[in-house]
Chain A
Amino acid sequence: MPYRIIDIADLKISNRPGDILVTYSLGSCVGVAVYDPVVRIGGMIHCMLPLSKVDRNKAQERPAMFVDTGMQLMLSQLFESGVRKARLKIAVAGGAHILNDDNLFKIGERNFTVLRKILWKNSMLMNVQDVGGDISRTIRLHVGTGRFTVKSQGTEVHYELPQKD
């Protein structure tokens, strides 16, 4: 099956049932996978920083670097291709932190906070949430089935699409 890799600060959407969207090594970055089981379209984004105001130029060039501009772009692309908000399944992973309690490097927590606010404002719910801790994660979304997996330190957890909503 063709893997389609989402690099850091990048996003992809797909409607090809054979595709597996994958993003590797989410540390404090957040990875968001969204899926509409009716039209079978999925999207994935790998954001490294919370807010675009830290570097407006970069946000123009690479909106997916930031949670705010990236989510906005991905959602508008998905809605344009026929995805409906009410049907979206949303899985979120990453947002980890290094061992310190120190505030300076709590980028993961800030990423997740901004993401949660954006979802909340749009009345969207997270179906899967695997965030925090001091581990890095790799996530996959199978476009044909909506299956979502999180792999970390050799263990993989599968989340199947809920059968009926």
Chain B
Amino acid sequence: MNYLKKIERRIQEFPEMPAMCRTLLQSLEDPDVDFKQLEEQIQYDPGLTSNVLRLANSAYFGATGTVSSLRVALMRLGTRRVSEVVTAILVSPMMLRSLSGYDLRSQDLLEHSVWVAVASEELARLMGYRDVKMLFTAGLLHDMGKIILDPFVREQRDQLLQEQLTESFDRREQDFIGMSHAQAGANLLAKWNIPEEITAAAKWHHDPESAPEYPEQVNMVHLADILGYSEGIGAGIDGMKYRASAVAHKRLGLKKSDIEYVASLTLDKMNELESLLT
């Protein structure tokens, strides 16, 4: 039962991150990047351009008027939002697949990921954290490791679901497969060479106390994830079998009503974004 080599091979064979995403995410690190460069990069691809405009006009991304050109989208939403939009558009097709090991239908992983992206931002806003870098994208990509582990979860399903087990599902993956989906996702994202905040959120989202860096991203993604599972959003066989970290919410001082309020806000926004992405 050594899956580690197989996992490694699946990560190596997984598609590269779309080049456009990497360029955009990197350009965000560069304070001198100008709109014109971004505009030129995106407009080479007319399909992408029209998709960016559709999302830029969505209620979620907050454009109040009609955004009719890329230039306006970039000015009105800012380069950060536009790069989040582009990443969501380019990565979401990779998530639209059924994962039979986890018992997820073809839309479930994307739906759950969009929920976590939106709810992370709502939690951050409610808690008064401003400008948590890469939070939306960190939420969106936190579960990519499930795509990597799915065939092995299918093989080990009976073991993973033994009734007497009380460990959380990521621990069970570690025990029976040799790696959790959190770690597998972090390994994939590290290979994609994208900003560290995103990789850290993927790696620690079920064990936020152990995260050495980026506590805001890690804690928000963790709580948004648990809230999503609690509401059954994209929950497969593993769905309810996780633990909420006490430290994450005690330190943040969240109340029941906060959690429920965020859930009520997130549902419609998730539906809107999901329909724009599929």
Residues of A within 8 A of B (CB): 8-9, 25-29, 48-50, 54-55, 58, 61-62, 65, 94, 96-100, 102-105, 107-108, 110, 133-136, 153-154
Which secondary structure dominates where chain A touches chain B?
Answer: loop
Flag the segment in B83-91, B177-185, B263-271 that touches A.
Answer: B263-271
Q: List 13 A-B contacts (CB under 8 A).
A: A9-B267, A25-B233, A29-B231, A29-B232, A49-B263, A49-B264, A54-B260, A98-B226, A98-B229, A98-B241, A104-B254, A104-B259, A105-B259
Q: What residues of chain A lie closer than 8 Å to B240, measured between beta carbons?
A: 27-28, 96-99, 133-136
Interface status of B4 (Cβ within 8 A of chain A): no
Whether B264 pairs with A27 at a CB distance below 8 angstroms is no
Interface status of B1 (Cβ within 8 A of chain A): no
Q: What's the Cα separation between A55 and B262 when bound, in Å?
A: 10
- A31–chain B nearest beta-carbon distance, Å: 10
Contact of A55 among B229, B241, B261 (CB under 8 A): B261
Q: Which of A27, A62, A97, A108 has the most CB of B within 10 A?
A: A27
Interface status of B195 (Cβ within 8 A of chain A): no
In the complex formed, the residue of B with least CB distance to A51 is: B260
Q: What residues of chain B lie closer than 8 Å to A154, measured between beta carbons?
A: 103
Given contacts A98-B229, A134-B240, A136-B240, contact A49 B235 (CB under 8 A): no
Whether A105 pairs with B244 at a CB distance below 8 angstroms is yes
Whether A58 pairs with B231 at a CB distance below 8 angstroms is no
Q: What's the Cα separation between A153 and B241 when bound, in Å?
A: 12
Whether A58 pairs with B226 at a CB distance below 8 angstroms is no
Whether A8 pairs with B231 at a CB distance below 8 angstroms is yes
Whether B260 pairs with A28 at a CB distance below 8 angstroms is no
Contact of B261 among A25, A54, A133 (CB under 8 A): A54
- B40–chain A nearest beta-carbon distance, Å: 41
Whether A27 pairs with B256 at a CB distance below 8 angstroms is no
Q: What's the Cα separation between A146 and B272 when bound, in Å?
A: 34
Q: What residues of chain B lie closer than 8 Å to A105, measured between beta carbons?
A: 226-227, 230, 244, 259
Whether A136 pairs with B239 at a CB distance below 8 angstroms is yes
Whether B257 pairs with A27 at a CB distance below 8 angstroms is no
Interface status of B211 (Cβ within 8 A of chain A): no
Interface status of B19 (Cβ within 8 A of chain A): no
Whether A65 pairs with B264 at a CB distance below 8 angstroms is yes
- B1–chain A nearest beta-carbon distance, Å: 23
In the complex formed, the residue of B with least CB distance to A28 is: B230
Interface status of B161 (Cβ within 8 A of chain A): yes
Interface status of B48 (Cβ within 8 A of chain A): no
- A165–chain B nearest beta-carbon distance, Å: 32
